[in-house]
Structure 1
């Protein structure tokens, strides 16, 4: 998984005789703060990661655990692995003759004592409750568990910021944090499996729950900082401050307030951290990450990219069009826009520059295409699963509804790329530079796992059963290819799946903190009331306001967390306006996704700029322009529900055709190229106006838009005739 920091990643282009082939495009990049162990430490971590993935497969398919217990173990396991693998400070360089900050090891040894004592007390409480005690005395919980845990957690986090050692060495402060994670989980597992669980959120709740929740929240936010940067941490802290200062705020932000004990006794329940986001990460997301790891181990990602090259590489601007198809296929599986940029972009961006694209344009195309992978059914990153969990709408219905919006988005990016290539006179790649399509067609059986997944879902199998079948199919199909998956490769897939999952699990838990604040303070309902007041003047104005809030909440955040927060804050307000829940959630989902290419904080664009060598802000502006359709499509399906398959087939077909024409006209207007000739500013304005007329989806507005487009085409052809005559 990717972070805001630069990621180490080697280009994935090799020469194979006279063909350019992709190799290891879906190999997981190594973040700068990830430890690279060797020897016995490497073996220990590998055993832990394999056990973590295997635990989920066993619990999801064979012997389910009690729901809250399963989610607690799920989060605790990600924290333990995360603190094992990701450092809290930069590594000591090879030039450092002396280990820096030796005091951190001694300090970690001191705070380890209260951490171990808190962990021991969790087991002691279990024995007390099993022995017939109704509850543990509050003073015992506070002084023998709570305060030692808080001291150890706070001390371990602060010490880890200064602890700098070599990349292959383990960290003593992080060992403290691993023990604290286990102590939090042990206590909550004990208490939540007794009748005391019913007291959460009341004055009768055991004080230890609040202590465990404070420590657990701090551990989650620290781990989020390490794997996803500061953006989500800052937003989470702002929401936590709001909990205790809201009673002093004016207007719709004000509320009576919550005490520390009442809030934290409830935030580590299904109203917050163990709520919808962790429910999804502990079931669907972890399962599909393991599925992606199986595809990676069987080299299906290489096949996807090579197949895209063979199909689209010869057309003008070929590598850019390859990026669209390959990134769409890969992005829907791996769940992060920036992560997909790093994997496929290391191959496609250099090739785009080679055929003539400016470096910022090359990065922008890859960023826009990778972001679009998050809205590509059937998997849609992880967004579809979270949407299904929050709304209660069946997953298959969400996947079907996403088909036309995804087509429109990728069609727009394709048109943008094609117009740019025509405008600058770019060539495609030569046939002798590309993989042989005839050879790749013989390996089309590698699509079977994806096909089985889709078919199983639409036959009515559960998402978990469908994902498991697809995973088994990936292993079986690999035996028809050169990359056969034996026991060693299967264990390797389970190993890398756990590492891939850490970021998104922790991010979902951090988003759960924010969701908990929203639900427990009622700020979401007050925001809905404000949207209703705005809509009294204009529905369009309310939608635009909701768009900006969704983008703002998503800036700098991974897609999963961005949508989870926006769905809690913005979507209920749209539903209160009378908008169908599916439409409302798709609306905020799209804008949460495109926040990855929206200046000034655009994670996907920044990742692409790191590969292309372009200025990050210039790349984000260019990717915003390339992905402009994503900002129009949500308004299209708001005004015309046929774009979400909610209409008779004739209406759906008409909406698809007219909307595609609309994004074609929009692309021509934005890029300044139409009818095989450059468009002046007047022509561009007319094209954009024609495209906007087709947003509403009404018969007359569509007709006027098409007439305007035809008129512009005729004008452009007349303008082109003299140029052709002069050229001939």
Structure 2
């Protein structure tokens, strides 16, 4: 295959004329999951109105009419549950893979469950009237028999029926209608009781038993919706933690704890100690706001522009589409909060093009998975993890975004050079001029970056995250008026509707993670884990860090980034802080490993999503993506040994660490790909690895040693392959 991107020397002008204006289309289209309902007619209009109202509620509450904190978070979760059960089915649709519609008696059984569900909802209104009339509390017998038991019976029955009730994709399941009513009944009771003095009784023997019934029903609803939108991994981990609440008193050693009663645990788990805690605090403010921002960008087709811009900037380099995937995934990572979501949006375009220029399907999928995972650590938005980190640590968000800069550069530099060396080794070409959009055409629409620039500028000018996000959202609509995709009233409503549906997954995941955080807080298992890490650190701090890495990855496997980090931050980060690590360093350490769990075998969500597009083996793709993203498994250890990597230190220290670590990353990529300026022998790879680790480490003496090794290898390779080595394999 030719190394030249042009077919012949005289093709330049002709190529410019033939160059397409756009090759990325549909990047901003909404991804429709396999269990997502597609409504039409009055049902579509009703649910679209509900989604618009949900998004508008958050914009109004966050900016104009504030609401009491717990009440706001309860409404936030309840709205996501109602929308979630309306859009996502609990099982396959009829007609898929030969499945038949369920018999009529299942529908009637589901409708029958509406009776206890509605009865419990009516009891909420009656109890609210009693409280308003001056009652100090409700009779526990009434709360149990007339509210708790009917609600729980309807919730469990409807969840079980939803697993086996199949019908066409365009209709709402009656079992899910019951679950929507149960969500209203659970949230309604909590709103009533948490706005009375009885709120102070949560977690004590005096707490109203109704709070426990409402919390139990709400927890089951959250777990079931999480299963539908994020898979079983997070649900299984949540179930293990919940089982620990009751099994813990019987466990030996450091895992044992005195135990909690049903009422003490459930009356407190649906408070700011658990479900209404940091994860929901973030999802109800920053995350929902940035989802609305992302929806406005999508409505104005900014995602298409980002990907086309990446093609114009990097498409002609060797292995062009692979480098495009790196740039595009970094840009899309600003507006897309999930690794797997990034893979689906950009990978459907870049993976086939990578295969076209010579990358095997395995490498193409792995590159996209690694690049998309990097979108989660890319400032300024960094998925949702950065906001949760700010909430938990109290460190200003702007400081976290600045601290993330060098690690993000190192990660993307690592993936870039891995891709570049593989392209050189296999003799791959870039894309031709006539295959990519013209850069000079796209530069004319550079103003489409304005909302991102306004967001960053507002944050660093001292605006709150909420105010900056709202300003950026408004600017996205204004900027669209001078673009080909103008946002009128209909497009704005469409964006609000899209935001409402896009938010369901992340809100369910955050609430479910809050359930786990509640268990950790109430049982004290996090403190016991901290003492274990402290004991390990007595032998070796490196051993303690390695153990913390393994636990962070294990907790994150199969889980979305937000939940993975929230759980790891509760279990692992306190232990790291106790062994003397700065809070920012400790949280970045677990955050990085929670993120890279998306490309870590055996459960690698981003890699599996990429393998589905590339058509290659999922496990082999995950192993290859692990290799490409190797830097992300080394750099976090350097946070501890060289805090300057997180902008902690003088500017001279930060500059030195940034430059030498980047050079170390280049050597690491050359080590993995066995190619520098030409083929690299085994002994040279070992020396390269030592030099790379020395420079990534960040100490003065190790930097000098690493630079000496790197310089010697550079001279040796240039001398042996000064004219450019021939590729080992040509595609």
TM-score by length of 1: 0.96
CA distance in 1, matches of 2:481, 2:88: 35
Counterpart selection for 2:52 from 37, 50, 53:
50
CA distance in 1, matches of 2:703, 2:654: 14
Structure 2 counterpart of 1:720? 721
Counterpart selection for 2:593 from 574, 588, 591:
591
Structure 2 counterpart of 1:357? 359
For the 8 Å contact 2:78–2:183, the answer to whether it is kept is yes
How far 1:100 moved relative to its partner? Answer: 2.2
| 1:27-78 Cα distance to aligned partner (Å, 9 max, x none) | 2210000001111111111111001000000100010110000000000000
How far 1:698 moved relative to its partner? Answer: 1.0
| 1:193-229 Cα distance to aligned partner (Å, 9 max, x none) | 0000000000000000000111000000000000000
Structure 2 counterpart of 1:696? 697
Segments of structure 1 that go 5 or more residues without pairing to the other structure are 1-14
Structure 1 counterpart of 2:10? none
How far 1:18 moved relative to its partner? Answer: 3.9
Counterpart selection for 2:172 from 170, 173, 183:
170
For the 8 Å contact 2:678–2:725, the answer to whether it is kept is no
Structure 2 counterpart of 1:311? 313
| 1:402-421 Cα distance to aligned partner (Å, 9 max, x none) | 00000000000000000010
SS state at 1:133 partner: coil
Counterpart selection for 2:408 from 406, 409, 423:
406
| 1:135-172 Cα distance to aligned partner (Å, 9 max, x none) | 00000100000000000000000000010000011100
Work out whether 1:493 is the aligned partner of 2:513.
no
CA distance in 2, matches of 1:452, 1:687: 42
For the 8 Å contact 1:605–1:623, the answer to whether it is kept is yes
Structure 2 counterpart of 1:247? 249
CA distance in 1, matches of 2:195, 2:232: 35
647-656 vs 231-240, greater mean Cα deviation: 647-656
CA distance in 2, matches of 1:302, 1:63: 35
For the 8 Å contact 1:635–1:695, the answer to whether it is kept is no
Counterpart selection for 1:573 from 569, 575, 581:
575
For the 8 Å contact 2:427–2:727, the answer to whether it is kept is no
| 1:303-331 Cα distance to aligned partner (Å, 9 max, x none) | 11111111101100111111001101112
Given the superposition, is the C-alpha separation of residues 94 and 699 from structure 1 closer, same or farther in structure 2, using an over 3 Å criterion?
Answer: closer
CA distance in 2, matches of 1:98, 1:310: 49
How far 1:23 moved relative to its partner? Answer: 1.0
Equivalent residues in 2 for 1:71-470, closer than 5 Å: 71-93=73-95, 99-470=101-472
| 1:671-699 Cα distance to aligned partner (Å, 9 max, x none) | 1111x211122111111111112233111
For the 8 Å contact 1:374–1:380, the answer to whether it is kept is yes
Structure 2 counterpart of 1:558? 560
How far 1:102 moved relative to its partner? Answer: 2.5
| 1:619-644 Cα distance to aligned partner (Å, 9 max, x none) | 00010001001011111221111111
Structure 2 counterpart of 1:3? none
How far 1:95 moved relative to its partner? Answer: 8.6
SS state at 2:463 partner: coil
CA distance in 2, matches of 1:95, 1:23: 30
21-30 vs 477-486, greater mean Cα deviation: 21-30
Given the superposition, is the C-alpha separation of residues 239 and 98 from structure 1 closer, same or farther in structure 2, using an over 3 Å criterion?
Answer: closer
Counterpart selection for 2:669 from 667, 670, 682:
667
For the 8 Å contact 2:520–2:570, the answer to whether it is kept is yes
For the 8 Å contact 1:304–1:326, the answer to whether it is kept is yes
Counterpart selection for 1:632 from 631, 634, 637:
634
CA distance in 1, matches of 2:726, 2:23: 42
How far 1:512 moved relative to its partner? Answer: 0.3
SS state at 2:696 partner: coil
How far 1:718 moved relative to its partner? Answer: 3.8
Structural RMSD (CA): 1.6
416-425 vs 106-115, greater mean Cα deviation: 106-115
SS state at 1:333 partner: coil
SS state at 2:281 partner: helix
| 1:595-614 Cα distance to aligned partner (Å, 9 max, x none) | 00000000000000000101
Given the superposition, is the C-alpha separation of residues 477 and 685 from structure 1 closer, same or farther in structure 2, using an over 3 Å criterion?
Answer: same
CA distance in 1, matches of 2:250, 2:151: 31
Structure 1 counterpart of 2:510? 508
| 1:408-456 Cα distance to aligned partner (Å, 9 max, x none) | 0000000000001000000001111111111111111111100100010
For the 8 Å contact 1:639–1:695, the answer to whether it is kept is no
SS state at 2:23 partner: strand
How far 1:476 moved relative to its partner? Answer: 0.3
CA distance in 2, matches of 1:97, 1:215: 30
Work out whether 1:677 is the aligned partner of 2:674.
no
Given the superposition, is the C-alpha separation of residues 98 and 371 from structure 1 closer, same or farther in structure 2, using an over 3 Å criterion?
Answer: closer
| 1:334-380 Cα distance to aligned partner (Å, 9 max, x none) | 11000010000011111111111010100001000100000000000
Given the superposition, is the C-alpha separation of residues 705 and 273 from structure 1 closer, same or farther in structure 2, using an over 3 Å criterion?
Answer: same
SS state at 2:703 partner: helix
SS state at 1:428 partner: coil
Structure 2 counterpart of 1:534? 536
CA distance in 2, matches of 1:417, 1:115: 56
Given the superposition, is the C-alpha separation of residues 269 and 97 from structure 1 closer, same or farther in structure 2, using an over 3 Å criterion?
Answer: closer
For the 8 Å contact 2:662–2:696, the answer to whether it is kept is no
Aligned length: 712
For the 8 Å contact 1:101–1:162, the answer to whether it is kept is no
CA distance in 1, matches of 2:636, 2:404: 11
CA distance in 1, matches of 2:450, 2:509: 31
267-276 vs 710-719, greater mean Cα deviation: 710-719
SS state at 1:332 partner: coil
For the 8 Å contact 1:104–1:173, the answer to whether it is kept is no
CA distance in 2, matches of 1:633, 1:725: 32
683-692 vs 32-41, greater mean Cα deviation: 683-692
234-243 vs 252-261, greater mean Cα deviation: 252-261
How far 1:173 moved relative to its partner? Answer: 0.3
SS state at 1:78 partner: helix
Structure 2 counterpart of 1:41? 43
CA distance in 1, matches of 2:99, 2:337: 41
CA distance in 2, matches of 1:375, 1:723: 35
CA distance in 2, matches of 1:530, 1:310: 52
CA distance in 2, matches of 1:496, 1:241: 37
How far 1:716 moved relative to its partner? Answer: 2.4
For the 8 Å contact 1:26–1:344, the answer to whether it is kept is no
How far 1:721 moved relative to its partner? Answer: 5.9
Structure 1 counterpart of 2:707? 706
